Structure 1
Amino acid sequence: MRFCGLGIGFLFVVSLVSGQNQTTVQHFWNQKEVKHAAIGVCVKHVESGDVVYEYNAGMALRPASVVKLLSSALALKREGDSLTYSTNVFYSGKLEEGVLAGNIIVRAGGDPSLDSKYFPEACFVDSVVSAVLGMGIRRVIGNIIVETGDSPSRIPGSWPWEDVANYYGALYHSFNYRDNTYTLNMRSGKAGTPARLLSVVPSVPGVKFRNEVLSSVKNSNDAWIYGGPEAATLLIQGTIPANRSLFAVKGAMHRPEDCFLVEVEKRLKKAGVVVDKQEVEKGNNGRQLLLTMISPLLKDIVFYTNKNSVNLFAEALGYLISPTDYAKIVKEELNHIGIDSCGIILKDACGLSPANAVPAETFTDLLLWARESLGDAFLASLPRGGVDRGLRVYSDHPVLRGNVVAKTGSMFGVRALSGYLKNKKGETLAFTILVNNYEGDPVKVQEIMRDFLREMAEK
């Protein structure tokens, strides 16, 4: 482990033990794509904790989504794997002969999974409509209200402006709906012609879209949404593949409660329930519980946080760790379990911020601790080589396929990987590889990292 005060020269030491050949391993970091990159590597035996290989292990580097290992592991440590969120729905006022003279009130409970695509078996909108019908309500003389109970979520100041309106920039709120994501359904024609915006699902009230997307010969989604969370108009620019009858571009829903209200009112109307929007008393007097929606277990949310790298879920886990000072509490938690927190800079819990910086050894030591302390809930959340698409390149060798489980991270100029590797001797290694500011093809960088893992596995 690292210790503060040893001097900066220590950060650049290459350490090779267990008989590794320095020339054999070192050549990976001399290849042209990574020769001028900042690289941090730390590999340790899980059982003994002994160092297998280190290269700038104490250098704080951008980890991208690998930082989700911190939020997921420490949330499980603090809350256990069986924590659930509760969202309560009440009705107030007087109910007579199918007419409710009052409000239907949703009290947010911080659940990030309401109507999430990752948990399709539990639909919040359906449950609310069923509960209303089950009470015999056919008319509401009042409103449907979402009580959030706190100040609006704020975008971390270090998030890039070009990210905040796109789906992966969805913020965590006390009330969340459909992964806080909407879909722009588009149609494209010949290359070079304007694409047409067909619909927005769910509708985003109070927001207009200025569409400047073109059709392209490129067979990839290169359309981006620009604008802040309070913007009345969002700009869509870029390209989508030509000649598509339907193509989806996803955006961040920054006011999920507004989108939910539109959707639930529409669904109630379809079910024959009329909502006459009238101002009535919003107090607690006379409130009756209509529905309690229980979230999936925390371990299931952690599963998708790491498997699918869901930023929204990671931010929710960060809020569990600390709603006010995440970075400080993470460092305190790490120090408490014996992991040095020197050099760590955290601006968010999901890794979207390019200002995050964490040493490779921190992640490797976290993996050593998690293996002993967190059990299956954490390990099951990590993508698996030969199974999960995100590890396709990293595990593309017989000695790695099925023997590596790891969290990936990527953003411009960053490729990162941290997890467990079983070598040919049957030993389990914990490893972290952080590569910043590489040149050229990112797939080639991934292949260099894969080849390094293969070398580790074959020794």
Structure 2
Amino acid sequence: MSRSVLHVGRGAGLVMALLMVVAGGEATTTHAQPATEPQSAREYIQAAVADTINAAPYAGALWGIEVTNLETGERLFGHNPKHLFAPASNTKLLTAAAALRRLGPSYRYETGLYVDGPVRNGVLHGNLIVRGSGDPTLGGHEQRNDPTTVFRDWADSLKAAGITRIEGDILGDDDPFSDVPLGDGWSWNDVPYSYAAEINGLVFNTNAIDLEVRGRRAGMPAQVTWSPFETDFVRVRNQSQTVPRDSASDEDYERPFSENTFTVRSQIYPNEIQEETLSITEPTAYFTHVLRAVLLREGISVEGRGVDVDETPIKPRYRADSVRRIGTYRSPPLRNVVQTMNHESQNLYAEQLLRTLAVVEPPDTTADDLTEGSAELGALAVRTELSEVGIDTSRVRVVDGSGLSRKNYVRPRAMSRLLTHMWGEAPSDRSTAFYDSLPVGGREGTLEYRFRGGPAAGGEVRAKTGTLTGASALSGYVNTARDTPLAFVLFCNHHLADADDVRAAQDAIVNALAELPL
């Protein structure tokens, strides 16, 4: 949907907002009368917000809210707009805007496939080298039906070059990025789940395996399988149990740091299927290991191993006559990468983008600790872009690209300013790419099951979610009853409420904004 058709349909007689707030297990209904004048509109928003955030479940929580009229630039409402908040995955809005501004919506990653030796009688007398660029999409969401598609295409390229046997190793070059695998301030509890996948210059299948647990007869272990093709790069210990349906079921997975051994302790009902995507460690070795397995399946023999080039004495000289490129994978354009990142709240995509900003067009700096490919240099690039759109970056802290860290801080006022800029001030290609990256309420991504009722229903709100324990965020765009576009920022930190209750409060406020006859 284009921005010009963002519209909230409603009957002429609908003149009040219905806010549903869960309090003490019961639904409390509050009404605020819509207003027709700007000043009374602010009073109406004030009443709607107060009725919502002052409910019992949010006692002691800190709320930060700002609402802006995008037609006039007027700030319609603010509640703690200058306080600092942990934005959770709303950090991805900062990453997306900076990447679109700095790289452009048409930017594409390129991953190259090289050989470093002669080919005689079908035999490559040398190594096969994969030169990474930080691309998060190879085997990712865009290729979910078969994450090995690119590897099989590369097998065809090798055959076209007359290669049916590789005498050397398959080397993975992940050098564009620093070797720090996780974000600053990430919790150890997040391992082994895919939302904390390791960051790397080479990425395959979002640096994860897709595991399935299938219940059998009660009392028996469940059947555990994983893809791609139950790769032996990982080891899986099956300690699961199929339990009767009158028992409690649960999912339980464990992977120690620096190991690729998974223990499955899930309890599952007969014929039930549990699916989980779990992160691996040593992504470059994973990439080359699976590539080797695919080549063997495609009829190309490989005598050597799949290894990280840093573990060998070889330093590829890509401009040397002996090194030739025989295959390339080009990612979808950045606009698509950003859309996947925000629709699915894909953390690894965000982290890869942050480090890409530290490699492609990095900001000028004399600081010794800001090295190429590092998160710190990428964060400087983000702050530089924020400063150029009029945000006071002395009151912004960015340490990762995804928002998984609690060390990120931003003010509602700053986020509102960013939304305003990307709406009407940025070049149209960047503005459209940013807007289209936001999930549509009630239809897709992280908002698929929200805004299915009320004035903002029917896919008429676009916004980015954000969730950490005790922190929730929702920022984006919605139209009023008279099609006036609004930008809104809703941060809630330090809450003890159930996450669904906080989301219900955010949705109630957005529905109230959609009801405004402004």
Give TM-score scaled by structure 2 length. Answer: 0.78
Structure 2 residue 369 is matched with structure 1 residue 340:
no
- 1:242 equivalenced with 2:273 (yes/no): no
Kindly provide the amino acid, as one letter, of the partner of residue 227 in structure 1: P
User: Whole-Å Cα distance in 1 between the matches of residues 330 and 451 of structure 2?
Assistant: 37
For each residue in 1:359-394, what CA deviation from the matched residue of structure 2 results, as whole angstroms up to 9, or x when unmatched? 222211110001120321111010012312522454
How big is each residue's C-alpha offset from its partner over 1:107-126, in whole Å with a ceiling of 9 and x where there is no partner? 11221111213246993201
1:139 aligns with 2:165: yes
Conservation of the 8 A alpha-carbon contact between 2:85 and 2:493: yes
Could you list the runs of 5+ residues in structure 2 that have no partner in the other structure? Answer: 1-38, 306-311, 359-372
Work out the CA distance in 2 between the residues paired with 1:209 and 1:317: 31
Match of 2:334 in 1: 298
Structure 2 match to 1:319: 355
Would the alpha carbon gap of residues 192 and 331 (structure 1) be closer, same or farther in structure 2, given more than 3 Å must change? Answer: farther
Structure 1 stretch displaced more, 376-385 or 163-172:
163-172
Distance in 2 between residues matched to 1:364 and 1:258, nearest whole Å: 42
The verdict on how the C-alpha distance between 1:204 and 1:164 changes in structure 2, with shifts beyond 3 A counting, is: farther
| 1:220-369 paired onto structure 2 within 5 Å | 222-228=251-257, 230-231=258-259, 233-237=261-265, 239=266, 241-244=268-271, 246-277=273-304, 284=317, 285=320, 286-322=322-358, 323-324=373-374, 325=376, 326-369=378-421
Q: Work out whether residues 69 and 76 of structure 2, in 8 Å CA contact, stay in contact via their aligned partners in 1.
A: yes
Residue equivalent to 2:422: 370
Q: Does 1:403 align with 2:460?
A: yes
For the residues of structure 2 that align with 1:283 and 1:62, how far apart are their CA atoms? 42
- Given that 1:87 and 1:108 are in contact with CA atoms closer than 8 Å, whether structure 2 keeps it comes out as yes
Runs ≥4 residues deviating over 3 A: 16-19, 21-25, 119-122, 189-222, 232-237, 244-247, 278-285, 326-329
Contact 2:231 2:290 in 1 (8 A): no
In structure 2, C-alpha distance between the alignment counterparts of 1:221 and 1:419, rounded to whole Å: 35
Q: For structure 1, which runs of at least 5 residues remain unmatched after alignment?
A: 1-15
- Report the Cα distance in structure 2 between the residues aligned to 1:273 and 1:38, rounded to whole angstroms: 60
User: Does the 8 Å contact 1:184/1:250 carry over to 2?
Assistant: yes
Decide which moves more: 18-27 or 219-228: 219-228
Amino acid at match of 1:302: V
> CA 1:215 to 1:62, structure 2 compared with 1: closer, same or farther past 3 Å?
farther
CA displacement at 1:431 relative to structure 2: 0.3
Q: Which of 49, 55, 75 matches 1:25?
A: 49
User: Contact between 2:91 and 2:403, CA under 8 Å: does it hold in 1?
Assistant: yes
Q: Quote the sequence identity (%).
A: 27
Aligned twin of 1:187: 214
1:182–1:202 CA contact under 8 A, matched in 2: no
- Write the letter of the residue equivalent to 1:104: L
Look up the match of 2:440: 384
Give the 3 Å change call, closer, same or farther, for CA 27–235 of structure 1 in structure 2.
same
More displaced 10-residue stretch of structure 1: 53-62 or 334-343: 334-343
One-letter identity of the residue aligned with 1:27: D
Question: What SS does the corresponding residue of 2:395 show, helix, strand or coil?
Answer: coil
Letter in 2 for 1:457: A
Q: What count of residue pairs does the alignment treat as equivalent?
A: 443
Q: Distance in 2 between matches of 1:27 and 1:153?
A: 45
Alignment deviations for residues 304-350 of structure 1 (CA, whole Å, 9 cap, x no partner): 01011111111122113333323333333222211123432322110
How far 1:255 sits from its partner (Å)? Answer: 2.1
The 2-side partners of 1:133 and 1:141 are apart by 15
CA change 1:271–1:456 in 2 (3 A) is closer
Q: Do the aligned residues in 1 keep the contact of 2:340 with 2:437 (CA within 8 Å)?
A: yes
Tell me if 1:116 matches 2:140: yes
Give the structure 1 partner of residue 29 of structure 2.
none
Q: Residue type of the partner of 1:331?
A: R
User: Match of 2:78, as an amino acid?
Assistant: E
Matched, 1:439 2:496: yes
Give the structure with the larger strand fraction: 1
| Counterpart residue number, 1:106 | 130
Shift of the alpha carbon at 1:411? 2.1
User: Contact conserved, 1:39 with 1:55, CA < 8 A, in 2?
Assistant: yes
1:27 deviates by 1.5
1:20 counterpart SS class: helix
CA distance in structure 2 between the partners assigned to 1:220 and 1:409 by the alignment: 28
| Alpha-carbon shift at residue 173 of structure 1 (Å) | 0.9
Residue 471 of structure 2 contacts residue 494 of structure 2 at CA under 8 Å; is this kept in 1? yes
Task: Flag the 1:344–1:194 CA change in 2: closer, same or farther, 3 A.
Answer: farther
Preserved contact between residue 42 and residue 54 of structure 1 (Cα < 8 Å): yes
* TM-score normalised over the length of structure 1: 0.88
Deviations 1:46-102 (A, max 9, x none): 122211111111121222111100001111001110111111111122212212211
